Amino acid sequence: MSMITDRRDLDFLLYELLGAQELASRPRFAAFDREAMGQILDTAQALAEDVFLPIAAEVDAQEPQFVDGRVVQPEATGAALRAYADAGFFALPFAEEDGGIGAPWTLYTAASGMVVAANTPVSNYAFLTIAAANLLSAFGTESQKARFFPRMIAGEWFGTMCLSEPQAGSSLGDIRTRAVPKGDGTFAITGSKMWISGGEQAITDNIVHMVLAKLPDAPAGSKGISLFVVPKMRTDADGTITGPNNIALAGLNHKLGQRATTNCLLNFGESGETLGEMIGEPGRGLEYMFHMMNEARIGVGHAAVMAGLHGYLYSTDYARSRTQGRSLTDRDPASPMVPIIEHTDVRRMLLQQKTSVEGGLALSLYCSRLVDDAASHPDEGARKAALSRLGLLTPVVKSWPSEHCLEANKWAIQILGGYGYTRDYPLERLYRDNRLNHIHEGTFAIQGMDLLGRKIGGDQGAALRALIAEMRDTLSEATPNAALSADAAALARAVDALEAAATALTGCADVARRMANATVFLDAFGHVVIGWLWLRQAAVAQAALAAGPAETEARFYRGKLQACRYFSLHELPLAVTRLALCESLQSVPLDTPAALFDV
């Protein structure tokens, strides 16, 4: 069996749950019928299993080194990425008229996810390049695009996002990097950028940095932020490299996980002039960044899901083959030991993983489908609704898997016991890699404030009400179905609790008290969303079972029903409890002054 994808489940989610095959009815996606999608998924799976997975342990152990101001890293990292680029995956989500392959974002998410599951840190270089190319494509001039974009989507040059600085992580309004106009359309960039993934590497001839900086006369705060394209190597008008652009690698960060992704402190304009060009208009840098925020945050959440999936598949396989102990009713020590999957608590840990991972995957694919619908649904109202729903769910798809699929990795380790704690097995690496996802692209707390402040407060709860209404539609269909009524009842309680909590929070005039509940609310809201997607999965499975499928298929669908039941009984009530706390507007953290933490 594959350790990085469950193709049966992927097909279920893509086609049976989300109807991704319908996208081919749109002219821009006409080439992407189910057969074509399957071929691309096959190619991605082969690359993931044959190229990315076999080197995952090696590139983790051989962490990139900082030697004489340069990066030394294993050849295998670049070789895998070249294979990925050669197969067209850097170009996959970009429009055909721009030289891309024009695939739906849904397909891009599903296909790239296999490579992410196999080897997140190596895949990151592609993820970042695609994000940077996305920005350039949307806001760059024709000249900027001509020099950089084709090389980026060919995987010839990689891209980065240079946002954070040592003193400004979550607080981007406080960046200090300066861009002084030279009068010829270029800008002299000076400053330090921290946490730059792929900021320097030993793979490509050039690196295209997307840099947030401030003009000399910029207003304070985030309104003063502009966006610049700043290549590692200067180029002429054709994009031919002419010489270095004086971006110095000041050091590499040594991380818990994701070690094959270099993470850099870069100094701009320190050892000579660093030139950049502005992207778009001054003062709109953060706004442009937000253009690709939905996709980027889906990507982070999806990476958390994929690490969780790898761990789930690995620990499932192990649980079926490792023997240990006997059943509770077999007291005969001479009887053979049983596979540990026969122990109920092992199956509990598998169900915990399955519900988080397959629930999280349903969410990241659903959000990817919203990206496609927002961009290309034939109906304008549907496009707007998709964009609104996507905005609402972006903090959830980013943070819920970052929490619960990290937990899934924890339980995967537990199933292997001591073995899971060693570096001879991939689980400890997945656990280390996955821990990052709560931090980058906006921390857990930032996501909570985005949800409660911007996404619910910003439209007076309209997007949330629309979602709740759709959840109630799902409940109306499921409740009369005997096989689903218990799950529907559990979800109904959770939806009621969500609505009550949201009403209390949005009605609270004290912004500090309201926002003090943001993270707890975000996590519980995520549970309700995942519970809804599980009930939808169960409804599809139940309908398929009613048609009397073959036994293998029936087992698959029964597995879906049991997972939904697990989530309904074990998880949704916890969300109800947390939402009741939010509804009460009590916040001990708010009411505990900093001085009480004195030691």
Token pair belonging to 78: 């670049």
Q: Do the Cβ atoms of 208 and 229 come closer than 8 Å?
A: yes
Asked if 254 interacts with a copy of itself (CB under 8 A), we say yes
Which of these segments, 151-159, 368-376, 432-440, 535-543, binds a copy of itself (CB under 8 A)?
432-440
Asked if 350 interacts with a copy of itself (CB under 8 A), we say yes
Indicate which single residue of 21, 190, 222, 485 sits in contact with a copy of itself (rule: CB under 8 A): 222
- Return the number of the residue (145 or 578) whose C-beta is nearest a copy of itself: 578
Q: Do the Cβ atoms of 1 and 317 come closer than 8 Å?
A: yes
d(CA 46, CA 59): 19
- Return the number of the residue (25 or 422) whose C-beta is nearest a copy of itself: 422
Burial (Cβ within 10 Å: 0-12, 13-18, ≥19) of residue 379:
exposed
Type of residue numbered 345: D
Interacting positions 525-584 with a copy of itself (CB under 8 A): 552, 555-556, 558-559, 562, 565-566, 569-570, 573-574, 576-578, 580-581, 584
- Partners of 228 in beta bridges: 211, 278
What is the x/- site pattern for a copy of itself, positions 223-252, by CB under 8 A? xx----------------------------
Q: Do the Cβ atoms of 361 and 312 come closer than 8 Å?
A: no
- Return the number of the residue (249 or 386) whose C-beta is nearest a copy of itself: 249
Token pair belonging to 542: 């139940």
CB of residue 70 to a copy of itself, shortest distance in Å: 20
The rounded radius of gyration (Å) of the Cα atoms in the chain is: 24
- Could you give phi then psi for residue 337, rounded to 5 degrees? -70, 155
The alpha carbon of residue 292 and the mean position of all alpha carbons in its chain are separated, in whole angstroms, by 13
- Could you give phi then psi for residue 499, rounded to 5 degrees? -65, -40
- Return the number of the residue (76 or 522) whose C-beta is nearest a copy of itself: 522
- Active site members: 441
Interacting positions 51-70 with a copy of itself (CB under 8 A): none
How close are the terminal C-alpha atoms of the chain, in Å?
53
CB of residue 83 to a copy of itself, shortest distance in Å: 26
Asked if 444 interacts with a copy of itself (CB under 8 A), we say yes
Which of these segments, 11-19, 204-212, 433-441, 493-501, binds a copy of itself (CB under 8 A)?
433-441
CB of residue 527 to a copy of itself, shortest distance in Å: 12
Asked if 176 interacts with a copy of itself (CB under 8 A), we say no
d(CA 559, CA 350): 11
CB of residue 324 to a copy of itself, shortest distance in Å: 5
Token pair belonging to 230: 């700043």
Indicate which single residue of 25, 39, 171, 503 sits in contact with a copy of itself (rule: CB under 8 A): 171
- Return the number of the residue (229 or 346) whose C-beta is nearest a copy of itself: 346
Indicate which single residue of 417, 462, 543, 546 sits in contact with a copy of itself (rule: CB under 8 A): 417
Indicate which single residue of 31, 256, 543, 546 sits in contact with a copy of itself (rule: CB under 8 A): 256
* DSSP code string of 219-236: PSSGGGEEEEEEESEEE-
What is the x/- site pattern for a copy of itself, positions 128-157, by CB under 8 A? ------------------------------
Which of these segments, 78-86, 286-294, 312-320, 531-539, binds a copy of itself (CB under 8 A)?
312-320
Q: What is the Cβ-side half-sphere exposure of residue 102, based on CA atoms within 13 angstroms?
A: 17
d(CA 48, CA 81): 11
Interacting positions 475-514 with a copy of itself (CB under 8 A): 511-512
Give the dihedral of Cα atoms 137, 143, 144, 148; nearest 10 deg. Answer: 90
Asked if 404 interacts with a copy of itself (CB under 8 A), we say no
- Return the number of the residue (64 or 102) whose C-beta is nearest a copy of itself: 64
- Return the number of the residue (156 or 342) whose C-beta is nearest a copy of itself: 342
CA dihedral sign, ordered 203, 206, 208, 209 = positive
Q: Do the Cβ atoms of 199 and 207 come closer than 8 Å?
A: yes
